[in-house]
Amino acid sequence: MAEKAWSKAKELITDTNNTMVLLDEINIALRYKYLDVNEVVRFLTNQKPENTHVVLTGRNAPDELLNISDLATEMVLLKHPFRSGIKAQKGVEY
């Protein structure tokens, strides 16, 4: 499924009608090796149109992505609904 999503992402990124593509939680797929980080880096470096912004989210961004990024942000958890007993919700957490 991750490979299928990455294939669609590449299609969206190279479509010059799109100026921004958000790949939510892709870093998790990279962390668990569902996708090859080197392939993602190669694609973003060599095939992403210059004026297309690609936003990659998720914890533990690999160094390979950080090295080619223009902006990296580290967020700190202050409050989370799970801590209040609210369970994961379809369409929100999965």
pTM for the complete prediction? 0.83
Q: Which residue shows structure tokens 């690999």? A: 62
Asked if residue 93 belongs to a domain, the reply is no
pLDDT tens profile 19-55: 999 999 999 999 999 999 999 999 999 999 999 999 9
Asked if residue 94 belongs to a domain, the reply is no
Asked if residue 90 belongs to a domain, the reply is no
Asked if residue 61 belongs to a domain, the reply is yes
The CATH code of the domain that includes 74 is 3.40.50.300
pLDDT tens profile 57-70: 999 999 999 999 99
Residue 67: give the domain boundaries.
Answer: 2-84
Asked if residue 22 belongs to a domain, the reply is yes
pLDDT tens profile 69-84: 999 999 898 999 999 9
Rg (CA), the chain: 15
- Please give the Cα distance from 33 to 37 (Å, whole number): 8
What domain count does the chain have? Answer: 1
Asked if residue 8 belongs to a domain, the reply is yes
Sequential DSSP letters for 1-40 = -HHHHHHHHHHHHH-TT-SEEEETTHHHHHHTTSS-HHHH
